[in-house]
Structure 1
Amino acid sequence: MLDLELSTTLLSFLLPFFLLFIIKRRSIFTTLFPSKSPENAKTPKSYPIIGSFFSIYENRNRSVQWTSELVTNSPTSTFVLRRPLGRRVIYTANPSNVQHILKSHFPIYQKSSFSRMNLGDLLGDGIFNTNGDSWKFQRQVASHEFNTRSLRKFVEHVVDTELNDRLIPILAAAAADKTVLDFQDILQRFAFDNVCAIAFGYDPASLVPSLPQVKFMKCFEDAVQISSQRFQYVHPLLWKAKRFLNFGSEKDLRIAVEGVREFAKGLVKEKKQLLNEKSELESFDLLSRFVSSGHNDETFVTDIVISFILAGRDTTSAALIWFFWLVSKNPNVEGEILREIYEKSESPIFEEVKDMVYTHASLSESMRLYPPVPVDGKQAVADNVLPDGTFVEKGTAVVYHPYAMGRSEKIWGNDWADFKPERWLERHDVPEVEGKWKFVGRDPYTYPVFQAGPRICLGKEMAFLQMKRVVAGVFRRFRVVPAFEEGKEPVFVSFLTTKMEGGFPVRIEERT
């Protein structure tokens, strides 16, 4: 065992130098080790030992787009990427394969050890980073809490308060002063305040006029970004070596994670103390509900609440960022959304935004093109064969690709690149609602933006209600006008969720 550990440590030190050498001496390496013949011109070349390292390295800053191109150009919407040291990753945008992975053969395809390893420092054994009995237990507890009416009413109250007391006044001030805002930062702050209140009953107050740097928010942002960068390493041994030596990004990650977990554990202790003093908590936040229902293990509760902060903060803000961008480019869509908003009362409430069918379709269409989580992976715990005939060896990572699926001509037709909310709608065929739209959703295996099967997102409906409330509140009063430099458009980047590189500069204009 000691010899194995020493060998692994030695390899972790030597591998970076070996890869650096072959980058510098690529022509010599490719002459000595000819590539395997690709199946087609778009398949990346593969070499002994290093696999498709050169292609992976060249596309390291656009891996989502690159793998999307490879998947959509494959006849079966599936391809195998050979990574260094013999690791194989199967990418698929085939709905039959997705259903096979996420539902019909769910026990075989589990959260991958690769993903759990990369995210373990931040998420621990939280619901999004675990399998088996631990996942089932957390899912049951979370499902029960999410389905309580008191929590839903609390969420509505939190979102409306943050919208009316913070977001709208900041937009109004920007409109009056004619200043340029980073709308990505604003929406992330909005989502962060919301999810902290819902998860912890804690208000970080990041969306106040001074836009302060909140330590917990900064630590969380750093931890998410560095954890996600681990997925981009050619081999995990590289970041493990940095962690072992405690330098660079891994040192920064350790400090950020310590900040997140210490703060979260402090809030857990406060809730437990309050429960001991009052015997019953008056708050409806998730942490209060978990603690009051008898879940007293601090690490367990901290892990699960951190997972929900990640889900609630990054996914909702990512969806809204790209929604506002796409709508700004399609004034006809904005007009239909405004018509729907003005049909409602002067200040729409959650029950009313449920009926905003065109807005719901527009959000669905936006997430088709820019899903908040562009790729997600599982790992086979047994040999298996996908419906398209792809053999999956035990231990192989299998990645389903929502970003590629949203851009697949096989699924959406030759107009897939068009932003068309109408593709989600049809007219009612009953007289009493003549002329009204009816939303027609796609099955979750064709549109796995919220996952599917047993792991389908518990907060899906709640997320739609929050987003529609924000859209109604903002569009009722303001126009959101992108303010990129002339000739430039947003650059898509992905950490754990999608973002715009460098932010989303906008001007806010009051509607007349």
Structure 2
Amino acid sequence: MLLQLQYLLLVLIPLLSLLFFFFFNSNSKIPKSYPLVGSFFALLANRDRLLPWLTGIIQDSPSNTFVLRQSFATGHVISGNPAVVQHILMTNFNNYGKGEDSRRTVYDLLGDGIFNVDGESWKFQRQIAMQEFNTKSLRKFVETVVQTEVSQRLIPTLTSAAEHGTVLDFQDILQRFTFDNICNIAFGFDPAYLLPSLPQTKLDLAFENGIKCSSERGNTLFPGVWKIKKLLNIGSEKRLKIAISEIRGFAMTIIKEKKQELREKESLDSVDLLSRLLNSGHLDENFVIDFVISFILAGRDTSSAALTWFFWVLSKNPEIESEILKEIKEKSEGPVYDEVKDMVYTHASLCESMRLYPPVALDAKEAVNDDVLPDGTVVKKGMKVSYFPYAMGRLEKLWGSDWAEFKPERWLQKEEENSESSWRFVGRDSYTYPVFQAGPRICLGKEMAFLQMKSVVAGVLRRFKVVPAFEQGVQEPEYDSFLSKMKGGFPVKIEERERDHLHSEN
């Protein structure tokens, strides 16, 4: 037996050395692919810097599309080409679904919620959700839910930190803020998570573990490992099981309270998303739980991640911060909803920040049938096809030679009106800038997200300066490849602005 092992090593070592030699001596950023193992060695070598590595490949590909060959010749098409994005998200939408592998990976967490299904179930949940995003609901969201959370919870928390010189994890603060908001507007339930005491709860840890462990399933180099760990109930799979139990218990509490409320009242003061779902006749408990969890995750993590990176980028660009402060002062005379809706420069700044740090870095679909993409890439049935917002925001072809600069002006045009100049927002099409997806699955909460983010920006900046407080030697925070968040959090100090910067909060 020992002799056989020695012979095997004698064969394998030269082969592995040869493969590594070819990989590291290639002038092209596009990884070499080999029989059986595909580009496994390239993936292994770059597993800790996956996004910059894949971005470099996209930048180096003539059509900004390439096929990553994984083990046993399976191919994964990854693209930053707007024509390809339009094809998979709109033109040939029905051919690109979630895929069974992707569904299984996050099924324990999301179940049959809106973000993990296709077909009729997706259409039904989307129709229910669409009723929540009309102008009346958006105005109510800003003028009641968001402003209450800003004035009664966020501002007091930051005021206390400024007075005591406390270092806060601003990413955590923003997650608490968005968590309270989504539960209030979608379910009529206030978890009161953003309080001055910053309570640490099992629920917070459950959401963090649930998202992290589910993401790791989908990004592992050895897909079979998580299934074995789940079977044995060990490691990350044991943590995931505990987390999901906590999350589903929380969702069930919300649902029970809403059912009780619906039984006791003939008519509600306001109708939220959960009320509509329960009144639609869908009383299957697991279905409603999946629906609730999906919306909590969407509302909690995307906007908070976008805001975290926005405040970081702003700290490096004081001249842009000054422009935003000027706009906040100019717009704060009218009603709150109109104020945030009309903050054009701030809107452009948020778009620019999400160009560089999108809340979803890469999104995968699966081909239902064989296809040929607009750039000529051949897609076989069952192949994964991903569009790549993180890389697309870094393409000179799309954004010019100054793509690496933070420039809100690239989204704006000057307009002359009554001898005064003002900015007009000029958006990019959703295939060049697919931060909110595109086509039939375009994000329903896009406008709500912008209103929420602008409300936070206005509320925070008119009173405070957010100053990064990383440990000495840390020059730039790390973008989490799986979660699009800031690895390790965003430590900051809060500084009160001079009185002449403040504007009435009344």
Q: TM-score, normalised by structure 2?
A: 0.92
Deviations 1:310-337 (A, max 9, x none): 1111000011011111111111101100
Does residue 1:171 correspond to 2:158, yes or no? yes
Change (3 A) 1:285 1:32: closer
49, 68, 88: which one aligns with 1:101: 88
Could you tell me which residue of structure 2 aligns to residue 463 of structure 1?
449
Change (3 A) 1:34 1:331: closer
The residue type paired with residue 463 of structure 2 is: R
The residue type paired with residue 263 of structure 1 is: F
**C-alpha distance in 2, partners of 1:451/1:33?**
37
The residue type paired with residue 45 of structure 2 is: E
Post-superposition shift, 1:145? 3.0
For 2:485, what is the secondary structure of its paired residue?
strand
Could you tell me which residue of structure 1 aligns to residue 461 of structure 2?
475
**C-alpha distance in 1, partners of 2:43/2:143?**
44
Matches within 5 A, 1:365-384: 365-384=352-371
The residue type paired with residue 386 of structure 2 is: V
Matches within 5 A, 1:153-164: 153-154=140-141, 156-164=143-151
**C-alpha distance in 1, partners of 2:293/2:248?**
8
Does residue 1:403 correspond to 2:390, yes or no? yes
**C-alpha distance in 1, partners of 2:372/2:27?**
22
Does residue 1:344 correspond to 2:370, yes or no? no
Change (3 A) 1:188 1:176: same
Could you tell me which residue of structure 2 aligns to residue 117 of structure 1?
104
For 1:210, what is the secondary structure of its paired residue?
coil
422, 438, 449: which one aligns with 2:435: 449
**C-alpha distance in 2, partners of 1:125/1:156?**
33
Could you tell me which residue of structure 1 aligns to residue 404 of structure 2?
417
Could you tell me which residue of structure 2 aligns to residue 326 of structure 1?
313
**C-alpha distance in 1, partners of 2:425/2:14?**
55
Change (3 A) 1:209 1:396: same
Does residue 1:301 correspond to 2:292, yes or no? no
Does residue 1:127 correspond to 2:82, yes or no? no
Could you tell me which residue of structure 1 aligns to residue 502 of structure 2?
none
| Contiguous gaps of at least 5 residues in structure 1 | 1-20
Does residue 1:436 correspond to 2:422, yes or no? yes
* 8 A contact 1:384–1:392 mirrored in 2: yes
Post-superposition shift, 1:59? 1.7
For 1:258, what is the secondary structure of its paired residue?
helix
**C-alpha distance in 2, partners of 1:159/1:309?**
16
For 1:90, what is the secondary structure of its paired residue?
strand
Change (3 A) 1:130 1:38: farther
* 8 A contact 2:133–2:448 mirrored in 1: no
**C-alpha distance in 1, partners of 2:142/2:100?**
34
* 8 A contact 2:306–2:357 mirrored in 1: yes
* 8 A contact 1:220–1:260 mirrored in 2: yes
The residue type paired with residue 123 of structure 1 is: L
Could you tell me which residue of structure 2 aligns to residue 147 of structure 1?
134
Change (3 A) 1:310 1:490: farther
For 2:429, what is the secondary structure of its paired residue?
coil
Deviations 1:62-108 (A, max 9, x none): 22221111111111101111112222101000001100111011011
* 8 A contact 2:331–2:342 mirrored in 1: no
Post-superposition shift, 1:294? 3.3
Could you tell me which residue of structure 2 aligns to residue 212 of structure 1?
199
**Which 10-residue stretch deviates more, 467-476 or 128-137?**
128-137
The residue type paired with residue 422 of structure 2 is: K
Post-superposition shift, 1:299? 1.8
The residue type paired with residue 81 of structure 1 is: L
For 2:424, what is the secondary structure of its paired residue?
strand
Does residue 1:310 correspond to 2:284, yes or no? no
Post-superposition shift, 1:236? 1.9
Percent identity between the two aligned chains: 61
Change (3 A) 1:178 1:33: closer
Post-superposition shift, 1:345? 2.6
**C-alpha distance in 1, partners of 2:244/2:454?**
33
**C-alpha distance in 1, partners of 2:91/2:470?**
45
The residue type paired with residue 271 of structure 1 is: K
**Which 10-residue stretch deviates more, 195-204 or 243-252?**
195-204
Does residue 1:75 correspond to 2:68, yes or no? no
How many residue pairs end up in the alignment? Answer: 490
* 8 A contact 1:33–1:47 mirrored in 2: no
**C-alpha distance in 1, partners of 2:42/2:206?**
33
Post-superposition shift, 1:165? 0.6
Deviations 1:371-422 (A, max 9, x none): 0101001111111111111011111100100000000001001100000000
**C-alpha distance in 2, partners of 1:507/1:463?**
25
**C-alpha distance in 2, partners of 1:199/1:402?**
27
Change (3 A) 1:356 1:413: same
For 1:499, what is the secondary structure of its paired residue?
coil
Change (3 A) 1:336 1:26: farther
* 8 A contact 2:157–2:196 mirrored in 1: yes
Could you tell me which residue of structure 2 aligns to residue 8 of structure 1?
none
Does residue 1:232 correspond to 2:228, yes or no? no
263, 267, 275: which one aligns with 2:254: 267
Does residue 1:48 correspond to 2:35, yes or no? yes
Q: TM-score, normalised by structure 1?
A: 0.91
**C-alpha distance in 2, partners of 1:26/1:254?**
40
Deviations 1:194-249 (A, max 9, x none): 11222322222221121111222221121011101112211321111111111110
Post-superposition shift, 1:39? 9.0
For 1:436, what is the secondary structure of its paired residue?
strand
**C-alpha distance in 2, partners of 1:32/1:510?**
57
Deviations 1:467-502 (A, max 9, x none): 001000000011111112344234333365311111
Change (3 A) 1:48 1:65: same
Could you tell me which residue of structure 1 aligns to residue 497 of structure 2?
511
**Which 10-residue stretch deviates more, 401-410 or 156-165?**
156-165
* 8 A contact 1:155–1:198 mirrored in 2: no
For 1:269, what is the secondary structure of its paired residue?
helix
Post-superposition shift, 1:134? 1.2
For 1:399, what is the secondary structure of its paired residue?
strand
RMSD: 2.3
**C-alpha distance in 1, partners of 2:200/2:20?**
51
* 8 A contact 1:84–1:235 mirrored in 2: no
**C-alpha distance in 1, partners of 2:22/2:437?**
36
